[in-house]
A and B are shown apart, each in its own frame.
Chain A
Amino acid sequence: MKLGGPREPKELRPRVFALGSVFLFGVLVLSVNLYRLMVVRFEEFTALSIDNQFKDVRVRAPRGLIRDRHGEVLVDARPSLDVFITPAFCLKCQAEVIPRLATLLGWDDDQRQKVEQQVKDTRGPQRYQQLVVAVDLPRDAFDLLNAHQMQLPGVDLEAVPHREYRAGSALAHVVGYMNEITVDELTKFNSSQEDRPPYAMGDYIGRKGVERAFEQVLRGTDGWVKEVVNARGEIMRDLKGEVLKRDEVLPRPGNNLVLSIDSRLQAEAERVFPGTAGAIVVMESKTGFILAMVSRPSFDPNEMTGRVSSQRLAALSKDPLQPLIFRAAAEHYHPGSTFKVVSMLAGLRSGAFTPQTTVNCTGGYQLGARRWRCDNERGHGPLQAHAALAFSCDTYFYRLADVIGIDPIARAARELGFGAPTNFGVAAEVPGVIPDSAYHDKNTPGGYTKGMALNASIGQGDVNVTPLQLAVVYSAIGNGGDVMQPQVVQRIETPDGALVEAMAPRLTRHVEITPEQHETLIGGLKGVVNEAGGTGFRARLPDITVAGKTGTAQVARLGQIRVKAADMNYWERDHAWFASFAPAEDPEVTVVVLNEHSGFGGASSAPAAGAILKRYFELKKADAQGTAPPLPSPIASSAPVPKAAESTKVLPDVVPPREPVEARDASVPGPGDPLVPPHEDLEAPR
C-alpha cells in the first residue's frame, strides 16, 4: 500500500455486515406482513374486492296505472326531461359548466347560486351520485343542451318517467298525488334487516287519495342487478357495449287500479258545478261505488308531484278557499233542509206522526216565549207529511221535533250514516256532528232544551254532515235502507289486465224502513222535484222521475237589516244543497251537490244535479245501444242571476241564544243559529 494513498477502510466491514443484517431484517418484516395479508387474510380481502366491483343497482318498478270504469287512463307516466350533474365528473363546474348551463337554460342568479351551492355541498362518495338540477325541460331546451353536451362535462340529460295526472285538477283529491319520501317514512317502511329495502331515498310515495291508500298495490317491487363498476362508479361494458352485470332480479311492475269513476260523468259534473267552492258526489245508489266526485276549488296534482315550490305550497295553504281540503268528505256543513227526510223518518218511526198527521203552518211555530219562523211567512196552511217535504215547510218539523224530541232524530240520523266516517278509505274524513240531548248536556251551557231539537230537525243547530255522508244517506233512503260503504276503487288488475281483485259492494248496515215509511219519504222527495211548488223543480227530467231535496245551510248570523244576497259578503252567504236520486222508484244513482256560499238556495245546486242525472241516463242509454253518447247540453243555469234572489226579508226581532259550534273552519265565520229559516223555495213557482 502506498503511503499517502487511500487506506482500505477495513474497520467499516463489521458495520457493513451489521447494516446489511438490519436491512435484510426489514425485508423479512415486509415478507411476513405480505404473508399475513395475502395468505392469512386472503379470503377476507377477496370478498372485499368482489364487493368493490359490483354495485347493487336498483331498477325502479313502473308504478301501476289508474283507469276509470271504462278503461280510460286517468293517471300514468310521461317522460320528464331532466338535467343532472354528477359533481365528481363535472370539471370546472363552478367556473364554467354551471354558468354555461345557466345561460343555456336562462336561469336567474338565485337559481344558479342554488345549484352552485348544491354541487359545492356534496362530499365524498356523494360526489358520484347524480344531482337533479332542472326538471321538465321543454323539448327545445333539451335539444339545445344536447347540442352543447361536449362543453358540459358531468352533466347528464335523461328522460325520467314522471307521474302524470291526465285529468289535472279534476279528481285531484280522490286520486291524490305523490312526492318524495321523507327520512322518517324510510325508517318506517324499511326494516333494518333488509339488505335491499323496498324504498330508497329519492323515491316518490303516494300522498293523498288513491295514490296513498293503494300505495302498496300501485308500487310494485323494484328490481336489482349487480353491475360492474370502476372506482369512479362508472358502469363497465364489454366489447359489444353491453353492461357487465349478474344476479339480475327483474322489477315487478305495480298493479293497475280501475276506479268506479266514469270520466264522462266526471267531466259533466266538473262542467256544471255552479259556484266557487263546494262538492259534488255522484254515487251508485245500491252499491256505494262513486261515479264522479268534485271538490272545488282544487289543485293540480301534476304540480304537487315534485314540481311545487315552497312559496307556491305556502300560498296554497294560506288560500282562504283552502283548495287542499277535500270538501266531499273532510269538511262538514249544516245539511239544512236536506236533513228533513231524517227527521221525517224519525217522526214516522215514533208513531206520534203518521203520513196523515196534519200540522197547520201559520208562518211560524211558538215554543215557550219564542217563535220559530217558517220560511214562508204567510204560512203553508195545513199540510201533511208529503207536502211538508215537497214544500219544505219548517213549521211541520218544528212541531215534529217538539213532539218527539231530539234523541229519536239523532238515532235515525246515526243509523242512516251520519255522525260517523263512511269508511270511504281513500281520503281522510270528518265524522260530522249529530247532536242529541246528551251531547247538548255536555257541550252547551245550560244543557239541552227543546229549541235545540227544533233547530236540529231542519238540519241547523249543531247538525253537521259531509256531502259524502249525505250521498250515503240518500242512497239508503232511496234503496230501502241499505247503508252502503262508499268506494271508488272497483278492481285491481295486473299490468297485463288480468283481474287480481274485484271489490264487492260493502253494506255498512241495513236500516229498517217500512214500505209505508219508504213510500212517504220517496213521495215527498218526488214532490220536491216534480210537483208544482216543489223546491227542486229545476232538477226535473222529462222521462225519469227524480227524487230529491233542496237545502240551504245558514252560515252567518244575520244583522238587523236584511240585505240582498248579492250584496252580502261572500263568507256570510248561505250554502246551497241539493241531494237527489233517480229513478225515484228504483234508484240507480245518487247525486249530492253542495255549493258553498252561493246565497241563492236551491237555485244553482238543483240544476247542476239535474244536468248530471240527465247525462247519467244519456250515457246509460248510449252504452246499452253501443252508440256514442250525445254531447252534453249547455249548462241550464250557469251563473245564478242576482235578480232572481230577491231575498229581502225582514229580520226577526228575537235572537235566540247562540249555541256552541265546533270551531273547525277558520275561514268561515262559524255557523250560527237558524235565525231565518232556509229560503230555498224562493225560486219555486207557486
Chain B
Amino acid sequence: MMELRTQRRTMANVPWGLVAVVLMISAVGIYNLASASRPPASPVWLPQLAYLGLGVATVVGIAFVDYRFVQSATIPIYLVNIAMLLALKVVGHKAKGAESWFVLGPLRLQPAEFMKLGMVLMMAKYFHDDERPNNEGYGFFRLVPPVLISMIPTALVLVQPDLGTALMMTFTAVTIILFAKPKWTVLVIMGVLALGSVGVLWNDYVRVQPEPRMTIIRHKLKKHQDARITGWLDPTSDLRGSNYHSMQSKIAVGSGGPTGKGWMQGTQTGLRFLPEQHTDFIFSVFAEEQGFVKCLFLLLLYAGFIITSLSIAASAKDRFGAFVVVGITAMVFWQVFENIGMVTGLLPITGITLPLMSYGGSSMLSVMIGVGLLVNVAMRRQGFRP
C-alpha cells in the first residue's frame, strides 16, 4: 500500500516539461540529420532514431531505479569508468589521431562520454557525504578530494588526446565546485588562476613580441591545437588551412539569414563545405537551412532544458540529488555553449558534439542517462502533494 502510494506519487512527479523539451530537441535533431546526411552520404538519421529509442528506454529504465541505489554504487561506477579509460590505451581504436573508441562489433563506444557522468556522480557523492551544516564554506583542504576526483579522469581524457572533452569536464567540475560554495579565499585564487590563463593566452598569442617569442605553454601544444587557438583569436590568419573549417561554418550559419535556405537546400551542406557536418558541425546545417528564427527556437528549447532541470535541483530531496542535477545540467550547458560558440566563431574549435542534435550513439546515450537521472531525482522529490 505504502509502495503503491510511493509509486503513484513518483509517477505524478515525472517532470513532463523536461521530457517534452528533450523529445522536441531530439525530434528536431533527427529531422535535421536527415538533411545533413542526404545522399550521397549514408542516411545516419535512421541509426540515430534507433539510438533515440534506446535512449528513451534508458531514461525509463533509470527513472525506475531509485537514485539512492545509484548513489550507493557511485564508487564502483566511477572506478569502472576510470578502468575503461585506462583500457583504451591498450585496446582502443585510433581515429583521427586520438584513441577514444572501443569497437564492439558494429558498436563504437566512447568511454569519455560516460566518464563525464561518472565524474558528476562521484563529485555529487562527495559533496553529499561531506555536508557540514555548521561549517558551510569549502576551504582548500575540503576541496582537495573533489579536485582529485575531477582531475584524474580529465587528465586521462586529455592524453587520449581529447582536448574538447577534457575542457568540458573541467568546466563541469568547476561549475559543481562553485555551486558547492567555496570560501572567498578559494574564489579569489580561482579568479587569479582564470586571469592567469587569460594572461598566458595574451602572452603566447596576442602580444606583439620579438622572435623568438617567449611562450609559456604554446610550445607544448600540438600543432593543430595551436592552430585552432590562433584561428580563433584571428579568424583571417589562415583561411585555407586550419581556419578553413571555422570560416566555412560561419559562412553556413551567416548565409542562413533570418529564414534559412530550406530543408535539404543548404549549399554549404549539400556541397560538403562543412567538416563533420553530422556531428560537431550539425548546428551549422540547422542554421543554414532553418534560419535565425528557428535557431532562436532551438536555443529556447535548450533554455527550457536548463530551467526545467535546474528546477528539479531546487526541489531535490537531498544534496546528492541536487548536485547530480546541477552537474548534468552544467555538462549539457557547457557542451551547448561551446558547440554553438565554436560553429559561430565565438570560441575555438574543439571536437564537441551538440547534445541531442549531433549524430552519435555514445553522445546520445550519455545525455539520455543524464536525463534519466534528472527524471529519477525529480520523481523522488519531496514536498509534492497531489
Contacts and interface: CB of A to CB of B under 8 A. Distances in A.
Contacts of B142: none
A16 B314 contact: yes
A37 B256 CA distance: 9
A9 B132 CA distance: 12
B257 A124 contact: no
Nearest to A48: B251
Contacts of A249: none
Given A27-B299, A38-B295, A231-B273, A49 B251 contact: yes
Contact of A35 (B292, B314, B316): B292
Contact of A16 (B251, B295, B303, B322): B322
11 contacts: A8-B318, A8-B382, A12-B179, A16-B322, A23-B310, A27-B306, A34-B344, A44-B254, A49-B252, A49-B267, A52-B267
B37 interface: no
Interface in A8-45: 8-9, 11-13, 15-17, 19-20, 23-24, 26-27, 29-31, 33-35, 37-39, 41-42, 44-45
Given A6-B317, A23-B306, A24-B303, A232 B253 contact: no
B240 A124 contact: yes
Which bracket fits the contact residues of A? 35 or more
A357 interface: no
B143 interface: no
A80 interface: no
A109 B241 CA distance: 33
A49 B344 CA distance: 15
Contact of A19 (B310, B318, B320): B310
Contact of A26 (B254, B311, B319, B337): B337
A2 to B, nearest CB: 11
Interface string A468-509: 000000000000000000000000000000000000000000
A437 interface: no
Contacts of B341: 30, 33
Chain B at the A interface: SS class: helix
Contact of A34 (B241, B292, B316): B292
Contact of B292 (A13, A38, A52, A236): A38
Given A12-B319, A45-B255, 8 more contacts: A13-B314, A23-B333, A24-B303, A34-B292, A34-B296, A34-B299, A230-B273, A231-B271
B175 interface: yes
B340 interface: yes
B268 interface: yes
A7 B240 contact: no
A46 interface: yes
A8 B252 CA distance: 48
Contacts of A52: 248, 251, 267-268, 271, 273
B250 interface: yes
Given A34-B295, A124-B240, A39 B257 contact: yes
B307 interface: yes
Given A19-B310, A23-B333, A26-B337, A48 B299 contact: no
B205 interface: no
A53 interface: yes
B292 A33 contact: no
B346 A33 contact: yes
Contacts of B295: 34, 38
Interface band, chain B: 35 or more
Interface of A: 6-9, 11-13, 15-17, 19-20, 23-24, 26-27, 29-31, 33-35, 37-39, 41-42, 44-46, 48-50, 52-53, 124-125, 228-232, 236
B329 interface: yes
B257 A46 contact: yes
B310 A20 contact: yes
A34 B337 CA distance: 12
Interface in B298-357: 299, 302-303, 306-307, 310-311, 313-314, 316-320, 322, 326, 329-330, 333, 336-337, 340-341, 344-346
A651 B252 CA distance: 93
Nearest to B318: A6
A37 B341 CA distance: 12
Given A6-B317, A230-B271, A19 B337 contact: no
Contact of B344 (A33, A42, A44, A50): A33
A31 B336 CA distance: 12
Give the secondary structure class of A's interface.
helix
Contact of B253 (A13, A38, A236): A38
B42 to A, nearest CB: 17
A37 B253 contact: yes
Given A16-B313, A24-B303, A53 B337 contact: no
A24 to B, nearest CB: 6
Contacts of A39: 257-258, 292
A270 to B, nearest CB: 54
B268 A49 contact: yes
B273 A41 contact: no
B318 A27 contact: no
A17 B315 CA distance: 12
Contacts of A33: 341, 344, 346
B24 to A, nearest CB: 16
B383 interface: yes
B383 A8 contact: yes
Nearest to A10: B314
B313 A45 contact: no
B130 interface: no
Contacts of B256: 38, 42
Contact of A27 (B303, B320, B346): B303
B287 interface: yes
A535 B299 CA distance: 105
Contacts of B291: 38
Contacts of B329: 19, 23
A277 to B, nearest CB: 54
B272 A232 contact: yes
B241 A124 contact: yes
A229 B303 CA distance: 38
Contacts of B307: 20, 24
A21 to B, nearest CB: 10
B132 to A, nearest CB: 12
Contact of B175 (A11, A19, A37, A53): A19
A12 B314 contact: yes
B136 interface: yes
Contacts of B382: 8
Contacts of B257: 38-39, 42, 46
A22 to B, nearest CB: 9
Contacts of A26: 333, 337
B94 interface: no
B159 to A, nearest CB: 29
